[in-house]
A and B are shown apart, each in its own frame.
Chain A
C-alpha cells in the first residue's frame, strides 16, 4: 500500500444528496491533492492544499467543497452533483518544497456514481 487511504471506495448518490469523501495520508507529507479521473482523459487536478492552505482551485464547480483540517486529512464534500460528475476521485499527497523533486503518492480512489 502507498500510505494514502480513501473512504468510501464506492459511492452511489442521487443528485440531491450530500456526501463526503475522506482521505488520510500516513507519510508525513505537507501537501495533499484531489484529482478527478475520467476514462481516456488526463488526470484533472481539482484542489491542492499545502501546509493546510488551499493553493490551487482549478475552476471546480462549487458543488465540490474541499476541507483540510490538518496535514494528514483531506475531505471532499459533495452536494447537488450532476451525472457527469461520475468518475474516480483520487487523493494524493507529496512533500512540497526543497530539497528534492518529489513524486506524488495516491490513494486507491473513490468510484463515484451520480444517478
Chain B
C-alpha cells in the first residue's frame, strides 16, 4: 500500500540552528513529492516539489528538500531557522501515473523554533 510517514510529531529547534523535518514514503514507481506548510488559522501553502532531475530542490522561504531514492526519503531542510518558521509541515506523495487528487498525505510535523 502507498503511504507517507512523518516520524516526528514535533520538532524543536533553536533560532539560527539548522532544521530538518523528516519524510519517508512508499509508492509504486517513481514519485512526485511535495512539501506544504500550514500556519495557525490558515490553509496549507505549497513550499516545494520534486518532479525529476536534481535531487536537491529549493523552495519558498529558504527551504530545500533532498530526494533520496535509495532511502525513499524527502526530508525538508533549512540552514538557519527563524521563529516565523514555526508551523505545521506536511509531506505528500503521488505516483507518476496517478492523478493530482491521488496525493497521499503525511500526518504533519509541528515545527517549533525557539528564540
Contact = CB atoms under 8 A, between A and B. Distances in A.
A47 B69 CA distance: 31
B100 A31 contact: yes
A76 B43 CA distance: 17
Interface in A15-65: 31, 33, 40-43, 45, 48, 50, 55-56
Interface string B33-70: 01010000111111001010000000000000000000
Nearest to B41: A108
Contacts of B108: 40, 42
Nearest to B34: A103
B24 to A, nearest CB: 14
A66 interface: no
Contact of B4 (A4, A42, A45, A108): A42
Contacts of A108: 41-43
Interface of A: 2, 4, 6, 31, 33, 40-43, 45, 48, 50, 55-56, 90, 92, 94, 96, 101-109
Return the 4 tightest CB-CB contacts between A and B, nearest first: A106-B43, A42-B105, A103-B46, A48-B101
